[in-house]
Structure 1
């Protein structure tokens, strides 16, 4: 079912995706805005720590920022679907940039109030523009060919991951010459410029006018999770996020147990590299079968790799196994976004993508929190295996749903 079919002589490529009229300009604008999401959170955490002198205050502020950003993402996406990105995105970006600027001012020197920083962080998180869901909706409109769309989603996922690698590097450069709060200001500028460039792009005409995009009479909000395809996509995405959240902490515990704490960065770099390779390869190959039938497969691969990671005899073996685990991450998320996109009415595509995005981030937070409670009580090998269980269970549930659907 999952064997690649022989590629035709003129198979669509990543170049064909970027050559789609107006696509490259819009994609570049979105990537510029997304770079803010790799820059601002780390800079804000460092800035809050510096101004308050407290790691706990920094953690609390970032938890508030992350929670409001993640869990209100579907609501912000609903505004995009209802009013269109040209009308909804600029106010969000302006508010988000203004609040980041306020946080920059508040954290530039010592002595800021933790309560004030928490309130500003909550407000900023609530206004975060959903650039990822908007771009995936735009890809769906620009590329009716499903093969090209799969390549676009793969490229999008890999590029987004690179933004989350590049962002911290940019912060590292900035704090060598100035205070961390400057990184928050840079994040504000990036998102504002990126959104303005996007809404001025002719490509956004592909996303309907507010009248066309209105979700009146359509399933919206929490009720969208009643759509089986979207629910299964969100389940797999949550399982992937849980594995990733657990992996970050387990890698630290494993490397310290083996006396190689400095190797953490190399292990996580191997995860990112594996994900990039897996995403590009997945998008480049033609597969038999539907996206729904493929959805559980990379989740099984990721779960199995997590179990093997816990059995690694040393750090070098862990690097190799984690790289293999990464190969399944981008394909799992790409397929989840594709299933979400094709399972709902076009008028609520942005919300569907936002639910998958929310599931990933919520899973990451839960994975980190749960493993944080377990890692001091159980061996890393056992924790790796426990972290793999949700991925394997979700894959089983989704696979069963696909079988039942095929029998109807």
Structure 2
């Protein structure tokens, strides 16, 4: 009798968690290398901004250079990801990482002394942005290769998303520690070193090796066969993905738009309250909420299907963001922002999962890059749009307008099925049918 009574508890304890993700073969080593390189993404933008400002003495020149850097990095991300899909991480990432790091070193050298022409600095910064290696999409592709089990993959993506968000918080803190020691140019050098080291360690992992027996070629053929079986006639090498991929990109874009708008609105709210120093802890509440939401999603044993989660999390973010505009003080604003954060990481994690499952194996890095591009483009658009509205409209109305795209996207995200078993059957090599 004791054995039958204890069977459910043993089953529950045997369910795989985050420890199982990191204990998978080579997972900890590969993930650590990717995080080391991705820490550069949190260091470089602020370091470049400060370095260009010091060299030119102009905030406008520094802002313009960083806008160009961001545009080059975001808009060309799918192109760089396509190179990784075509040639594999070991062949595509090292040249990108070396060139990107070399260009950052050139920027550091040019900004080490004042008087450098702003146009020359802008050219170097744009070239560096164009070469930014897609370490995030590559790592998510490697997670899929390592963890075909859907539950483990969901946990891996949740862990990856939370860790990436923490890197973007800790990156500026690292710059703050480096500035008194090496100055802005030295912080740029540190960012280049982080990226190069992480990228080289990542491609040295056995997970980054081509699949045995012509794995890349087999993956492309599997994708072509799966697409043909699905009746879509998609040729190998093309992105495809259909409505599922479009939904993932749309959800990521409106999430990024909400985040970009929120940053500026929190600044405006804190200034209205006469406490601009409170901006840091309010935005920290957003990060904490996002981390809790992401880890909570990964810890669920039986989550809702992707087709339900994606519109649900997007709607939750929109409602929470609109409600934040009604907060009467900073304390309640922080609570509302933390509530909004609960939906951020789950929405982005689900977007990546949907995109990953919607396309053929040889297009997964590109699909992830499109989601990543949508987040960044949405964030830039949200910040720029709200920047035009704040000061001309009441702040609660600005919050409502920033929430509107997420709420308006919900009907387009509601569909009967995507990102589930049907998508996997179209994109993954299927076992031979039984006779």
The answer to whether the 8 Å contact 2:358/2:419 transfers is no
Q: Which runs of 5+ in 2 are unaligned?
A: 1-8, 225-234, 423-435
User: Are 1:127 and 2:131 matched, yes or no?
Assistant: yes
Cα distance in structure 2, aligned partners of 1:404 and 1:14: 25
Q: Which runs of 5+ in 1 are unaligned?
A: 1-5
User: Are 1:48 and 2:52 matched, yes or no?
Assistant: yes
Residues 73, 23 of structure 1: CA spacing in aligned structure 2 closer, same or farther, 3 A cutoff? same
For residue 84 of structure 2, the aligned residue among 80, 84, 90 is 80
The size of the alignment, in residue pairs, is: 398
Q: SS of the counterpart of 2:209?
A: helix
- In the alignment, which residue of structure 2 is the partner of 1:211? 217
The answer to whether the 8 Å contact 2:89/2:138 transfers is yes
Residues 362, 12 of structure 1: CA spacing in aligned structure 2 closer, same or farther, 3 A cutoff? same
For residue 348 of structure 2, the aligned residue among 327, 333, 348 is 333
For residue 258 of structure 2, the aligned residue among 240, 243, 260 is 243
Summarize deviations over 1:167-208 as a string: whole Å, max 9, x none.
111100011223111111001111111111111111213667
- In the alignment, which residue of structure 2 is the partner of 1:3? none
User: Are 1:154 and 2:158 matched, yes or no?
Assistant: yes
Q: How does 1:95-114 map to 2 (within 5 A)?
A: 95-114=99-118
The answer to whether the 8 Å contact 2:81/2:137 transfers is yes
- In the alignment, which residue of structure 1 is the partner of 2:359? 344
- RMSD across aligned C-alpha pairs, in angstroms? 2.0
The answer to whether the 8 Å contact 1:33/1:190 transfers is yes
Residues 404, 179 of structure 1: CA spacing in aligned structure 2 closer, same or farther, 3 A cutoff? closer
Q: How does 1:126-145 map to 2 (within 5 A)?
A: 126-145=130-149
TM-fit CA distance, 1:289 = 3.7
User: Are 1:282 and 2:297 matched, yes or no?
Assistant: yes
Summarize deviations over 1:118-171 as a string: whole Å, max 9, x none.
111111111100000000000001001000000000000011111111111110
For residue 299 of structure 1, the aligned residue among 297, 314, 332 is 314
Residues 404, 22 of structure 1: CA spacing in aligned structure 2 closer, same or farther, 3 A cutoff? closer
Residues 403, 227 of structure 1: CA spacing in aligned structure 2 closer, same or farther, 3 A cutoff? closer
User: Are 1:220 and 2:220 matched, yes or no?
Assistant: no
Relative to structure 2, which stretch is displaced further, 206-215 or 236-245? 206-215
**TM-score normalized by structure 2?**
0.88
**TM-score normalized by structure 1?**
0.94
Q: Which has the higher contact order (CA 8 A, sep 6+)?
A: 1
The answer to whether the 8 Å contact 1:69/1:125 transfers is yes
User: Are 1:201 and 2:219 matched, yes or no?
Assistant: no
> Over alpha carbons, which structure has the higher Rg?
2
Cα distance in structure 1, aligned partners of 2:14 and 2:209: 29
The answer to whether the 8 Å contact 2:81/2:366 transfers is yes
- In the alignment, which residue of structure 1 is the partner of 2:416? 402
User: Are 1:308 and 2:323 matched, yes or no?
Assistant: yes
Cα distance in structure 1, aligned partners of 2:80 and 2:348: 21
User: Are 1:28 and 2:32 matched, yes or no?
Assistant: yes
For residue 385 of structure 1, the aligned residue among 396, 400, 421 is 400
For residue 70 of structure 2, the aligned residue among 66, 72, 83 is 66
Residues 212, 97 of structure 1: CA spacing in aligned structure 2 closer, same or farther, 3 A cutoff? farther
Cα distance in structure 1, aligned partners of 2:152 and 2:277: 41
Summarize deviations over 1:335-387 as a string: whole Å, max 9, x none.
00000011111110000000000000000000001001111210110000000
TM-fit CA distance, 1:17 = 0.1
Residues 30, 381 of structure 1: CA spacing in aligned structure 2 closer, same or farther, 3 A cutoff? same
User: Are 1:355 and 2:370 matched, yes or no?
Assistant: yes
TM-fit CA distance, 1:397 = 1.2
TM-fit CA distance, 1:293 = 2.2
The answer to whether the 8 Å contact 2:354/2:418 transfers is no
Cα distance in structure 2, aligned partners of 1:9 and 1:220: 42
For residue 382 of structure 2, the aligned residue among 359, 367, 372 is 367
Cα distance in structure 1, aligned partners of 2:297 and 2:347: 10
TM-fit CA distance, 1:218 = 2.6
Cα distance in structure 1, aligned partners of 2:91 and 2:216: 9
- In the alignment, which residue of structure 1 is the partner of 2:432? none
